[in-house]
Amino acid sequence: MSTEHYPVPRRRRCYLVRHGHVDYFDSHGKPLDPRSVRLSDRGSHQAWALSRALLDTPFDRALCSDYPRAMQTLEVLLIGRAMPTEAKAELREIRAGRLREIAPQDLHEQVVGAYRTAHETDARFLGGERWEDFRQRVLQAFFELAADPSWDTALIVSHDAVNRILLSWATGAGLAGIAAFEQDPACLNILDIDTYGDQVQNAILRTVNFTPYNPQKTGIHDTVMEHLYRGIHSAGPQA
């Protein structure tokens, strides 16, 4: 009988959360700066529903994007917990270009289909940030977290496309697969990672796009990008 011993990986858990609902357009249909928008009343209620679902879940580290909507969501999730938080620019949402530079006849296809073309050579999100650059910055931040041995459970509150990058990485789908991982506001994903030392060896999806405020997804039919297009279309040329 062999007496050879094999190293046992360390399994740790990441709770990936998208921020709660925000309004990207004001009451007159004028687009707002996505870098500074805050949670709507609906978004706050969604975050509170998620906080109740996570009430007894321990966290060793808590990170978020440095955009207000992500920081607000994290604050709600950590109510009653005395622990430090970390806001990281690397977890910001992918940056769009100027929508006015997209021809009107192409706007629907480019917005609604923005995730379906992410894997194409030199693809950019709505004429803005390159998808490959975005993927690299998100994964770099995630692998830096994984290399830290001080935690067993981590909470990460960020954005739709950030979560899609991590979920598609975990499944091996890459940029070609991100369109399949829908991320509703204030949703929860649970991702386990196996590490040897500071290297990630394996990933396991436990939960994807769970919304405690509406577990059955009743009335949720539009994708994130379809919902965004409706807002842009309603706003008109000024967007």
For 55-98, the pLDDT digits (tens) are: 999 999 999 999 999 999 999 999 999 999 999 999 999 999 98
pLDDT average, residue stretch 176-194: 98
In a domain, 1, yes or no: no
Number of helices and strands in the chain (H, E): 6, 6
In a domain, 112, yes or no: yes
pLDDT of residue 26: 76
Contact 86, 63 (CB under 8 A): yes
**Residue 180, burial from CB neighbour count under 10 angstroms (0-12, 13-18, 19+):** middle
**Residue 85, burial from CB neighbour count under 10 angstroms (0-12, 13-18, 19+):** middle
CB atoms within 10 A of CB 58: 11
In a domain, 67, yes or no: yes
> Structurally, how many domains does the chain consist of?
1
Closest by Cα among 213, 164, 214 to 189: 164
Q: Which residue has the higher pLDDT, 231 or 176?
A: 176
In a domain, 91, yes or no: yes
In a domain, 5, yes or no: no
Name the H helices within 29-154.
41-53, 68-77, 104-112, 131-147
* CA–CA dist 126, 107 (Å, integer): 9
- Give strand ranges (E) for 85-215: 86-88, 153-158, 188-196, 199-210
pLDDT of residue 239: 46
Band (pLDDT 50/70/90 cuts) for residue 4 is low
In a domain, 202, yes or no: yes
pLDDT of residue 203: 97
Largest CA distance in the chain: 76
| 6 has a pLDDT exceeding 70 | no
In a domain, 30, yes or no: yes
> Domain holding 45: CATH number?
3.40.50.1240
Domain containing 199 equals 10-235
The CA angle 68-70-76, to the nearest 5 degrees, is 100
In a domain, 21, yes or no: yes
